[in-house]
């Protein structure tokens, strides 16, 4: 499989080279990681034995070609998912290699700080506008970059409903699902502080939610202090339902960390809230991500999401910020953490302990309880000679009354290894 993938990549680079009648500057990159996910007692009932351990693996290979004059291509082939196919019987899961990213970038258009990109690419804006990191979105992006301001204006096809397969059939297929948006970043001189206003419009048939928000992060003029804060609200209307419903969801986030000067100790905290739908109103107050992607929470444990036990109760372990994900939608999170970094002489060993309090923002129909309980978690991550990372994290979740009475704790976590070149 690797030989086939490499042959395809080399062929694509060769054909592109011929098309440009020149020799590009070619560079090669790769990424590999494997996770061993483990969870136990996800139903909070020790009387029913439920647990699982499985492997999740990602591997990709990228070729970047620079043709000069600001023109370049980026192609990534790879595979990801759960692996466990029996080498003899063929039983068990296996995934195939596919085109994960492929785009053409033209920079410094007409000697200006403007660039244009078209193709399939990964996106991640802030903590919530994320493609998941495995498969990118198809589309186009126009960017402006300077010392004080960066701006991206883009249009992505989240889901193709028609395409070449419908040409000549007299049918356009189902409606496409598109995301149009703008993300700007203002950079303040002589500081590490940025402010990012943004707006998104997602359209599919007569369903057109819109998002407007403001995010700021960086390091204020206090040694060792860092922060991130964001507010976003949804607007627009869903006319696919009768009567039509207005979107009114909101998202709040504040995250702060402080590293003690001359001491490798960091303390921090966070507050994250996604409003939920109030059953007593005619509006839809449930907040969701424009992409329905994972909520990253800063990737503090090299995977999106909050505590590792909470993660193992989300669909596929991705913490998707979608209206149909009950463990993330309508969620309120309070976090406190403390970390220590040990210099081993061969690389840093990061140790972090977290406390999470989970709750519903809006009581749901038929359940007046909102307390989802508390989780304590521990993470260890070791980067050896700036080359390969080994990590382990685990959480112990004591459920709240939202799930019922006389319940038992849940365990969840994972072990991982990652390397890039």
State how beta strands 410-420 and 177-187 pair: unpaired
Q: What is the chain's pLDDT, residue by residue, as a tens digit (421 residues)? A: 444 544 544 455 445 544 544 689 999 999 999 999 999 999 999 988 899 999 999 999 999 999 999 999 999 999 999 999 999 999 999 999 999 999 999 999 999 999 999 999 999 999 999 999 999 999 999 999 999 999 999 999 999 999 998 999 988 888 999 999 999 999 998 889 999 999 999 999 999 999 999 999 999 888 999 999 999 999 999 998 888 999 999 999 999 999 999 999 999 999 999 999 998 888 999 999 999 999 999 999 999 999 999 999 999 999 999 999 999 999 999 999 999 999 999 999 999 999 999 999 999 988 999 999 999 999 999 999 999 999 999 999 999 999 999 999 999 999 999 999 9
- Residue 366: its pLDDT value, please? 87
How many CA atoms, within 13 angstroms, populate the side-chain half-sphere of residue 165?
5
CATH number of the domain where residue 241 is located? 2.40.160.100
Do 152 and 124 contact (CB within 8 A), yes or no? Answer: no
Which pair of structure tokens corresponds to residue 77? 């082939």
Tell me how far CA of residue 143 lies from CA of 107, 150, 225, in angstroms.
9, 7, 30
Q: What is residue 4's predicted lDDT score, i.e. its pLDDT? A: 52
Q: How many domains does the chain have?
A: 1
pTM score above 0.85: yes
- Other Cβ atoms less than 10 A from the Cβ of 329: the count is 22
Q: What was the pLDDT predicted at 221?
A: 86
- The β-bridge relationship of strands 98-106 and 71-82 is antiparallel
Q: In sequence order, what DSSP letters do the residues of 12-75 get, joined into one string?
A: HHHHHHHHHTS--EEEEEEEEEEEEEEEE-TTS-TTS--EEEEEEEEEEEEEEEE-STTEEEEE
Domain holding 84, by residue range, is 2-164+173-420
> What is the model's pLDDT at position 14?
46
- Residues paired with residue 73 on neighbouring β-strands, in sequence order: 65, 104
pLDDT of residue 23: 82
Q: Which residues of 169-200 are buried (b: 16+ CB within 10 A; e: fewer)?
A: eeeeeeebbbbbbebebebeeeeeeeebebbb
Whether the bond between 243 and the residue before it is cis, its omega within 30 degrees of 0, is yes
Of 155, 116, 158, nearest to 137 by C-alpha is 158
């Amino acid at each position: 499989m690797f030989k086939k993938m490499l042959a395809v990549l080399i062929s694509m680079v060769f054909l592109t080279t011929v098309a440009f009648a020149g020799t590009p500057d070619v560079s090669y990159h790769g990424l590999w990681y494997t996770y061993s996910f483990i969870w136990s007692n996800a139903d909070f009932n020790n009387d029913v034995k439920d647990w699982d351990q499985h492997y999740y693996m990602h591997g990709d290979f990228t070729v970047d070609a620079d043709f000069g004059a600001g023109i370049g291509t980026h192609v990534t082939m790879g595979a990801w998912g759960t692996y466990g196919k029996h080498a003899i019987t063929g039983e068990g899961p296996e995934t195939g290699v596919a085109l994960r990213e492929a785009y053409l970038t033209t920079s410094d258009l007409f000697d200006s700080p403007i660039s244009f990109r078209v193709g399939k690419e990964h996106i991640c804006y802030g903590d919530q506008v994320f493609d998941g990191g495995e498969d990118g979105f198809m589309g186009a992006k126009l960017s402006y970059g300077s010392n004080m301001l960066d701006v991206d204006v883009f249009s992505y096809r989240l889901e193709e409903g028609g395409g070449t397969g419908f040409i000549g059939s007299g049918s356009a297929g189902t409606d496409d699902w598109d995301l149009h948006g703008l993300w700007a970043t203002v950079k303040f001189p002589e500081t590490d502080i940025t402010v990012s206003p943004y707006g998104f419009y997602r359209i599919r048939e007569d369903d057109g939610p819109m998002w407007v928000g403001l995010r700021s992060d960086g390091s204020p003029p206090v040694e060792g202090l860092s922060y991130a804060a964001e507010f976003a609200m949804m607007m627009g209307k869903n006319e696919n339902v009768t009567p039509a419903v207005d979107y009114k969801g909101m998202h709040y986030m504040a995250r702060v960390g402080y590293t003690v000067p001359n001491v490798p100790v960091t303390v921090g905290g966070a507050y994250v809230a996604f409003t939920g739908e109030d059953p007593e109103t005619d509006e839809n107050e449930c907040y969701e991500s424009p992409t329905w992607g994972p909520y990253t929470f800063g990737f503090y444990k090299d995977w999106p999401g909050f505590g590792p036990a909470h993660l193992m109760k989300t669909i596929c372990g991705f913490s998707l910020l979608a209206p149909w994900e009950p463990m993330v939608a309508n969620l309120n999170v309070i976090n406190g953490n403390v970390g220590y970094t040990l210099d081993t002489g061969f690389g840093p060993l990061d140790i972090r302990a977290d406390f999470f309090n989970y709750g519903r923002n809006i009581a749901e129909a038929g359940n007046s309880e909102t307390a989802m309980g508390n989780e304590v978690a521990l993470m260890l991550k070791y980067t050896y000679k700036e080359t390969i990372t080994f990590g382990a994290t685990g959480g112990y979740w004591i459920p709240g009354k939202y799930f019922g009475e006389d319940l038992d704790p849940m365990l969840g976590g994972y072990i991982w290894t990652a390397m890039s070149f």
